Amino acid sequence: MVPFGINNTVRNSKISTADARRHLGLLVTDRALLFFGQIAPYKGLHYLISACTELTRRSSNYRLVIAGKPKWNEHYWNEVKKAITDSGIEKHIVSGLGLFRTTKSSSILKRPTF
């Protein structure tokens, strides 16, 4: 069971999904996975990095959009950035962005907490 499995909470606006994706540098053919919220170990971003690494081995059109900032300190975020670099998926990562356009542009939303 996936509670609230369809996220239709994005406010209506004049920006289209295509415009939001273009703003983030995403192509129409890209599959955008979105992680948003505060970045902390218990939210599992490191698992999403591993999954994204596997996905990009299968297809180069996956992108992971990270919209958030570290919750308590920079240590975990530094570990995540190192994992991104070590796995070689830097070109598949978009980060440091505002919530609205990232939500509007995503294909898949990874919601870490309720």
Query: Structurally, how many domains does the chain consist of?
Result: 1
- Residue 32 pairs in a beta bridge with 63
Average pLDDT over the chain, rounded to an integer: 79
Integer-rounded Cα radius of gyration of the chain: 14
> Tell me, what amino acid is at 39?
I
CA distance 72 to 70: 6
Residue 12 lies inside a defined structural domain of this protein: no
Residue 6 lies inside a defined structural domain of this protein: no
Residue 91 lies inside a defined structural domain of this protein: yes
Residue 11 lies inside a defined structural domain of this protein: no
CB 21 within 8 A of CB 105: yes
- Residue 110 pairs in a beta bridge with 35
CA distance 39 to 110: 13
- Nearest in space to 113 (alpha carbons), one of 43, 45, 10: 43
Say yes or no to pLDDT of 2 above 60.
no
Tell if the pTM clears 0.75, that is, is over it: no
Residue 16 lies inside a defined structural domain of this protein: no
Residue 8 lies inside a defined structural domain of this protein: no
The pLDDT value recorded for residue 8 is 57
The pLDDT value recorded for residue 114 is 47
71: Cβ contacts below 8 Å, ≥ 6 apart: 38, 39, 40
CATH code at position 86:
3.40.50.2000
What SS3 state is found at 36?
strand
For 62-111, how does the pLDDT look when each residue is reduced to its tens digit (9 = 90+)? Answer: 999 888 888 887 899 999 999 999 999 999 998 866 554 555 555 555 55
For 31-59, how does the pLDDT look when each residue is reduced to its tens digit (9 = 90+)? Answer: 988 888 888 998 899 999 999 999 999 99
Residue 68 lies inside a defined structural domain of this protein: yes
Percent of the chain surpassing pLDDT 70: 72
The pLDDT value recorded for residue 111 is 56
Write down the residue that tokens 């992971």 correspond to: 64
Residue 102 lies inside a defined structural domain of this protein: yes
Provide the domain limits for residue 63.
Answer: 25-110
The pLDDT value recorded for residue 91 is 94
